[in-house]
Structure 1
Amino acid sequence: MKDRLTAQKLLLDLKKVLNLSHDVSPELANTILDYAHYWPKVASNGPGTVVSAREEDELNSAEVLLLTPTMEELMGPGDFTIREVRFKLESHDQGWATFGDSPSRYLPSWTWFEAVIIRDPRHNASSPETDAFVKEALAKSRRGREDKSSVTTVRNPHASAGLGEDTWDIQRKVRASEVFVSHEVRFKEDNEDVASGRTPGRVGNDDMTGAGSGDGFIGALEKGDRIAVVARAK
């Protein structure tokens, strides 16, 4: 209700500024609000935890930090379009390294976050038992404990086939630092070149910022999907 009233006020103010004798058309109103990124927002939060590359996991650790409800459960019934997914993270690396200087504080970094889209009607309904099963299945498949996850996920259209083909890198951590650092990463709709296939989508992380591109992520999301944020360490 608050979002709707604020949007109405913005459009009335625009009518006054432009000295319009008629109301702004619904099509123009939607275009204006979309251009201003004035979108309804929903949020999911996860607790903090420690993830380390343990010997029992062959120095390949994974923990699911956040598992959202389905997009439809978050947004509500009816038609909707997801424009952006924003990740806010606070973390630090293990605090030491065995290598010398690097041109980037994110290279090389072997602790990072990645996103996975779960599309599995068997596990749509969120409950403590279901969520625990999904989290454990995802963690096992990330660690290479299973050739194929027992939970159905969505393939990253730009990733190579094999382990990690269903992941989108979110953010690498600042290497060899014990100081907590906050990062905000936004996965947006693909630009026209990537969406049309004229330009290949990017995978992995940016060397200088440590952030993932998110190419293909928004376009892959459907109403019944859930999003998992996985913390990794090697």
Structure 2
Amino acid sequence: MGSALSTLSSALTKDAESPSYDGNPSEQDVILVREFLVNLFPLELVEDILFFAEYWPCVWADSSLEIDAIASLNISTESTWLYVISPPVLPREILGVQNRHRRVRKVRFEMESVDQGWVDVPPENRGTSWSWFEATIFRASASPCWHDLTATPFNLGASFNSSDIKELFPEPDPNGWHIQSNIVACKEPQLHSVTWYEFEDEEAHAIPTSLKGREGLGHELVRSLEPGDRVMLIAKAKFPGWENHVFQGSIEIYYSV
């Protein structure tokens, strides 16, 4: 068994010394590890091991460009920036591999941001923040490519009003999920990490009609993703005085094979 564990460890970390290694396994890594484990355990147990270890490949995109989403700069007092857009979700079929299909398992967002750093009400009456992030699905079959999607960040609010933006992304319906609000009147940028799985979070406080997107329902986005879809990280600020200063952000889409 010691030799077997050593071989498995080598398989799991074989690319770690590569300059391009990002900490995530490739599809080939997962396939090789599965083939190795089925020599030791029943296939059903192997699938459970890979699932609970979240040993999944991913596609991702990130940005470290700074933007200022300032609600007061727009006539509608609502600022909307497309900050990052993911690569397309890969096809379900895996060429050269029979009886295996890709399936999106989770989506992870990271954002470093801060609001305007002040509000004109005492702490006990500050309420919710109107400086936040939401996720939207871009489905090319329903939304013509009206913009060079590689040229992000992009100030959506400068070209479209809020109703126009909703019409740009009609599918899936509903579309738009709240990810994370900034801490109210915080002076220093904060790093936020949010992960959504395909299964509903029964402890999440769900607000389907929130003006910030469907709160507590991120599993809907994971389940809705189809091959070719792309996930957009949107930076928002709404109502006079509210601002969203973004320093970096990323999207990671994990899938099983």
TM-score by length of 2: 0.63
Q: What residue in structure 1 maps to residue 136 of structure 2?
A: 116
In structure 2, which of residues 65, 80, 102 is the aligned counterpart of residue 62 of structure 1?
80
CA contact (8 A) 1:124 1:226 kept: no
CA contact (8 A) 1:70 1:224 kept: yes
Pair 1:129-2:148 in alignment:
yes
In structure 1, which of residues 18, 29, 32 is the aligned counterpart of residue 46 of structure 2?
29
Q: Which has the higher helix share?
A: 1
Pair 1:188-2:182 in alignment:
no
Q: Deviations over 1:125-166 (max 9, x none)?
A: 8x9735569x6668756x42528523443223xxxxxxxxx2
Q: What residue in structure 2 maps to residue 72 of structure 1?
A: 90
Q: What residue identity is the alignment partner of 1:25?
A: P
- 1:164-203 aligned at under 5 Å gives the runs 166-191=175-200, 202-203=207-208
Distance in 1, matches of 2:165 and 2:137, equals: 18
Pair 1:95-2:132 in alignment:
no
Distance in 1, matches of 2:109 and 2:202, equals: 24
CA contact (8 A) 1:169 1:203 kept: no
CA contact (8 A) 2:106 2:197 kept: yes
CA contact (8 A) 1:137 1:150 kept: no
Pair 1:49-2:71 in alignment:
no
Q: What residue identity is the alignment partner of 2:220?
A: G
Q: What residue in structure 2 maps to residue 38 of structure 1?
A: 55
Structure 2 segments unaligned to the other structure (5+ residues): 1-13, 16-24, 96-100, 239-257
| C-alpha RMSD over aligned residues | 4.0
CA contact (8 A) 1:118 1:227 kept: yes
CA contact (8 A) 1:64 1:138 kept: no
Pair 1:217-2:239 in alignment:
no
Q: What residue identity is the alignment partner of 2:193?
A: E
Q: After alignment, is 167-176 or 63-72 more displaced?
A: 63-72
Q: Which has the higher strand share?
A: 2
Distance in 1, matches of 2:68 and 2:217, equals: 25
Same amino acid, percent of matched pairs: 26
